[in-house]
């Protein structure tokens, strides 16, 4: 926050080369040019220190990530992470077990969590090397982008 | 007393998947096994048939925490086969990139993975609620290391600008000047981290390790040096395989390394520190002494302090390199493929990382061998569990389990790197 304005960020997480894991980043691509200019659109590989720095510097964030919770592919779940911890969304697959839920809880423990923190989790189908998004996830990405664009963020 | 088996099925706060099994007989640990069940990665086979230029990018994918180490051992080994020696500013930039990786890897391990063991928390998140300043400082230190990787390597994880012969792009002086401001803060934060960790309580656990690390005539080792041991070994990297055997054991998908002349050995921060204390910069030596360390440290629990000293050194060394930097005329030297064998060893955050490649005359890789530090440290970690675990046997099961995990975490193993590699099982008979 600076000069009385709140920094607002939409952060898409994932690996662009691993199929549906790129869902969050694909959402950012969908949103380019569709949101107020003060809203920062950020793609992230989810590295925890960098992600915490992004959370710490914002007053409002919207995070989009792929998940593997066992629901049908393309299912979108929306969580208000400012008020409650994220449920397990398929286990941490990142290095040293620090995934998005752990990064959010670390930010909360450190008083660095933005006062508004919404998470969209898109259920993936396939995470193969070099694969494109699967059809159900592509559809879900467009729907999440539409929802964020209409709300002006989250 | 009946025999007893203690099992830690899935070790936490480590990279990768493994466990520990202890067999306790007559109140003593008879057998300690580090069980590595993460599936084999098959990278050496994946490299066969690829161009020599691809080795740094393929091997970087072995690890998201220490990709620079893989890139550095790969480029040095391939250059060794091609008869090239990189010098001047490009060599200095490689060292700077390695500083970044040590800072980010060590800061993460000290703060979120290892410190909770000493302060009595189940996780870094639990510890953060009551020690927020220390965790914020550790995360900001990690970010300073990330900044070096992002500037020199193009991004924080799996950097893309390293190539055989140099870099695809080298930074401008003004870019490094901006980085220096953050590193001056990081150096102070690292100094504070040495003080913080030195205040922890350390169990009385010393043993006469055989330490193995690179030694360089003038530098604390990153990229180059001879392979030395605390028992007098002093060999060129080319002689590694003549002195070190790798064997398969049923409990591990990672090969176990042993010195032909003397069994298990330890690589990593403790080994580097003990074999190279006098090569640390004055500020790092002073901080180590102020933290109660001497030039010799044989208590694996104190590795957290040694790691903090290495973070301080890496920040200081990075600032020295940046201060002396002159932009090179070219980011990389010209390469001509040729056949032959190339060998190199560099110092990953977790220890010695050995690469060997055989190249065909057209530069195609026909054979690759990679010996990561965690594979080399498995036998020493098992020996720590056997020697030091016994004194913890009278603890309640949960505390015993935690101590056993700590004995493993002391060495910051990277299971993902080692598989070709943790779960605690205690068998009592």
pLDDT tens for residues B263-272?
899 999 999 9
Task: Give the pairing of strands B351-359 and B340-348.
Answer: antiparallel
Task: Give the pairing of strands B244-247 and B256-259.
Answer: antiparallel
For residue B164 the two structure tokens come to: 């055989």
Q: CA-to-CA distance for B22 and B383, rounded, in angstroms?
A: 11
Q: What is the 3-state secondary structure (H, E, C) of B53-86?
A: HHHHHHHHCCCCCCHHHHHHHHHHHHHHHHCCCC
Q: Cβ separation of A45 and B156 shorter than 8 Å?
A: yes
DSSP notation for A33-101? TSS-TTEEEEEE---HHHHHHHHHT-SEEEEEEEE-SSSPTT-EEEEETTTSPPPP-S---SGGG--HH
* Chain mean pLDDT for chain B: 91
pLDDT level of residue B13 (50, 70, 90 thresholds): low
Q: Which residue has the higher pLDDT, B304 or B29?
A: B304
pLDDT at B39 over 80: no
CATH of residue B243: 1.10.645.10
Chain A residues within 8 A of B139 when measuring between CB atoms? 48-49, 52-53
Q: What percent of chain A has pLDDT over 90?
A: 69
Buried b (16+ CB within 10 A) or exposed e, A21-41: bbbbbbbbebbeeebeeebeb
pLDDT at A2 over 50: no
B222 belongs to a structural domain = yes
B423 belongs to a structural domain = yes
> Residues of B near A (CB-CB distance < 8 A)?
12-15, 63-65, 104, 108, 112-113, 124-126, 128-129, 132, 135-136, 139-140, 142-143, 146, 155-157
Instruction: Work out the angle at residue B127's Cα, subtended by the Cα atoms of residues B10 and A46, and round it to the nearest 5 degrees.
Output: 70
Chain B residues within 8 A of A106 when measuring between CB atoms? 112, 124-125, 128, 135
pLDDT at B386 over 70: yes
Complex ipTM: 0.80
Choose from A48, A100, A109 for mutation: most chain B CBs within 10 A: A109
Q: Cβ separation of A109 and B157 shorter than 8 Å?
A: no
Q: Cβ separation of A96 and B15 shorter than 8 Å?
A: yes
Chain A residues within 8 A of B104 when measuring between CB atoms? 49
Asked if A15 is an interface residue toward chain B (Cβ–Cβ < 8 A), one would say no
Instruction: Work out the angle at residue A14's Cα, subtended by the Cα atoms of residues A43 and A125, and round it to the nearest 5 degrees.
Output: 140
Q: Which DSSP letter does residue B159 get?
A: -
For residue B290 the two structure tokens come to: 């102020």
Chain A residues within 8 A of B13 when measuring between CB atoms? 96-97
Q: Which residues contact B217 (CB under 8 A, 6 or more apart)?
A: none
| List of domains in chain A | 8-151 (3.40.50.1450)
Q: Cβ separation of B143 and A50 shorter than 8 Å?
A: yes
Domain range holding B407?
Answer: 3-325+336-428
Chain A residues within 8 A of B135 when measuring between CB atoms? 106, 109-110
Q: Cβ separation of B146 and A45 shorter than 8 Å?
A: no
Residue whose C-alpha is closest to residue B92's, from B155, B160, B147, B152: B152
**pTM of the entire predicted model:** 0.90
Q: How many residues in total does chain A contain?
A: 154
B330 belongs to a structural domain = no
- Specify which residues B247 forms β-bridges with: B256
Which of B113, B132, B155 is nearest residue A111 as measured by Cβ atoms? B132
Q: Which residue has the higher pLDDT, B21 or B128?
A: B128
Starting at the edge strand that comes first in sequence, how are the strands of the sheet with B365-371 ordered?
B340-348, B351-359, B365-371
pLDDT level of residue B415 (50, 70, 90 thresholds): low
Is residue A114 a contact partner of residue A59, using CB atoms and an 8 Å limit?
yes
3-state secondary structure of A131: coil
- For the ranges A143-152, B291-300, B308-317, the lowest mean pLDDT is seen at A143-152
Closest chain A residue to B129, measured at CA = A109
For residue B420 the two structure tokens come to: 């070709």
φ/ψ of residue B135, rounded to 5: -70, -40
Asked if A85 is an interface residue toward chain B (Cβ–Cβ < 8 A), one would say no
| Nearest-CA distance A146 → chain B (Å) | 30
Task: Identify the pLDDT of residue A95.
Answer: 45
3-state secondary structure of B33: strand
Is residue B350 a contact partner of residue B15, using CB atoms and an 8 Å limit?
no
3-state secondary structure of B379: helix
3-state secondary structure of A16: coil
- For the ranges A92-101, A104-113, B227-236, the lowest mean pLDDT is seen at A92-101
pLDDT at B50 over 70: yes
Q: CA-to-CA distance for B59 and B220, rounded, in angstroms?
A: 24
Q: Cβ separation of B125 and A50 shorter than 8 Å?
A: no
pLDDT at A1 over 60: no
pLDDT level of residue A92 (50, 70, 90 thresholds): very low
Which of B64, B132, B157 is nearest residue A110 as measured by Cβ atoms? B132
pLDDT at B422 over 80: no
Q: Which residue has the higher pLDDT, B253 or A126?
A: A126
B241 belongs to a structural domain = yes
B163 belongs to a structural domain = yes
DSSP notation for B276-339? HGGGS-HHHHHHHHHTT--S----GGGHHHHHHHHHHHHHHHHHHHHHH----SSSB-------
For residue B262 the two structure tokens come to: 């003397």
B331 belongs to a structural domain = no
Closest chain A residue to B142, measured at CA = A49
- For the ranges A51-55, B221-225, B324-328, the lowest mean pLDDT is seen at A51-55
Task: Identify the pLDDT of residue B417.
Answer: 55
pLDDT level of residue A94 (50, 70, 90 thresholds): very low
Task: Tell me the mean pLDDT in the region B153-169.
Answer: 91
pLDDT at A83 over 80: yes
| Nearest-CA distance A151 → chain B (Å) | 32
pLDDT at B198 over 90: yes
Task: Identify the pLDDT of residue B256.
Answer: 80
Q: Using one digit for the tens of pLDDT, what is the confidence trace for B52-69? A: 999 999 999 888 888 999
Chain pair A-B, CB pairs under 8 angstroms:
55
Q: Which DSSP letter does residue B39 get?
A: P
Q: Which residue has the higher pLDDT, B15 or B42?
A: B42
Chain A residues within 8 A of B113 when measuring between CB atoms? 96
pLDDT at A97 over 70: no
| Nearest-CA distance B375 → chain A (Å) | 18
Count of structural domains, chain B: 1
* Sign of the CA dihedral running A22, A23, A27, A29: positive
Task: Identify the pLDDT of residue B37.
Answer: 64
Q: CA-to-CA distance for B426 and B34, rounded, in angstroms?
A: 11
């Amino acid at each position: 926050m600076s000069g009385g304005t709140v920094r607002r960020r939409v952060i898409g997480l994932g690996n662009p080369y691993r199929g549906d894991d790129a869902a969050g980043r694909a959402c950012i691509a969908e949103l380019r040019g569709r949101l107020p200019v003060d809203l920062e659109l950020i793609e992230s590989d989810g590295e925890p220190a960098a992600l915490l720095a992004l959370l710490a510097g914002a007053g409002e964030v919207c995070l989009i990530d792929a998940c593997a919770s066992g629901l049908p592919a393309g299912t979108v779940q929306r969580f208000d992470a400012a008020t409650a911890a994220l449920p397990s969304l398929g286990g941490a697959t990142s290095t040293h077990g620090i995934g998005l839920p752990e990064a959010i809880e670390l930010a909360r423990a450190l008083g660095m969590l933005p006062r508004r923190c919404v998470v969209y989790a898109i259920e993936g189908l396939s995470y193969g090397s070099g694969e494109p998004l699967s059809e159900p996830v592509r559809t879900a990405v467009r729907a999440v982008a539409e929802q964020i664009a209409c709300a002006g963020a989250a | 007393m009946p025999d007893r088996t203690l099992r830690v099925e899935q070790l936490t706060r480590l990279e990768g998947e493994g466990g520990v099994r202890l067999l306790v007989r007559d109140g003593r640990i008879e057998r300690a096994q580090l069980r590595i069940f993460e599936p084999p990665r098959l990278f050496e086979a994946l490299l066969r048939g690829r161009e020599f230029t691809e080795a740094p990018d393929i091997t970087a994918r072995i690890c998201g925490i220490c990709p620079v180490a893989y890139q550095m051992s790969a480029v040095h080994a391939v250059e060794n086969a091609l008869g090239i020696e990189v010098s001047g500013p490009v060599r200095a930039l490689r060292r700077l990139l390695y500083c970044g990786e040590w800072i980010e890897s060590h800061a993460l391990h000290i703060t979120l993975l290892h410190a909770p063991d000493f302060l009595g928390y189940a996780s870094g998140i639990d510890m953060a609620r009551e020690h927020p300043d220390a965790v914020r400082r550790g995360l900001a230190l990690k970010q300073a290391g990330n900044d070096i990787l992002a500037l020199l390597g193009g991004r924080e994880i799996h950097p893309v600008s390293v190539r055989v012969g140099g870099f695809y792009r080298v930074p401008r002086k003004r870019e490094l000047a901006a980085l220096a401001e953050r590193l001056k803060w990081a150096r102070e934060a690292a100094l504070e981290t040495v003080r913080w960790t030195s205040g922890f309580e350390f169990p009385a656990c010393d043993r006469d390790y055989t330490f193995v690390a690179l030694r360089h005539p003038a530098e604390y080792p990153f990229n180059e040096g001879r392979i030395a041991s605390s028992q007098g070994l002093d060999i060129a990297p080319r002689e590694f395989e003549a002195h070190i055997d790798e064997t398969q054991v049923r409990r591990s998908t990672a090969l176990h390394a042993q010195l032909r002349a003397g069994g298990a050995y330890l690589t990593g921060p403790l080994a580097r520190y003990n074999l190279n204390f006098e090569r640390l910069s004055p500020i790092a030596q002073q901080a180590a002494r102020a933290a109660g360390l001497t030039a010799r440290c044989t208590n694996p629990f104190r590795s957290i302090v040694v790691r903090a000293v290495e973070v301080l050194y890496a920040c200081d060394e990075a600032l020295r390199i940046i201060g002396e930097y002159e932009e090179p005329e070219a980011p990389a030297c010209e390469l001509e493929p040729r056949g032959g064998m190339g060998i190199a060893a560099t110092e990953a955050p977790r220890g010695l990382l050995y690469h060997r490649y055989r190249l065909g005359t057209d530069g195609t890789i026909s054979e690759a061998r990679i010996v990561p530090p965690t594979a080399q440290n498995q036998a020493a970690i098992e020996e720590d569990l056997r020697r030091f675990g016994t004194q913890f046997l009278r603890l309640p099961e949960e505390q015993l389990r935690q101590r056993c995990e700590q004995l493993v975490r002391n060495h910051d193993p990277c299971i993902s790197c080692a598989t070709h590699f943790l779960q605690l099982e205690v068998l009592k008979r």
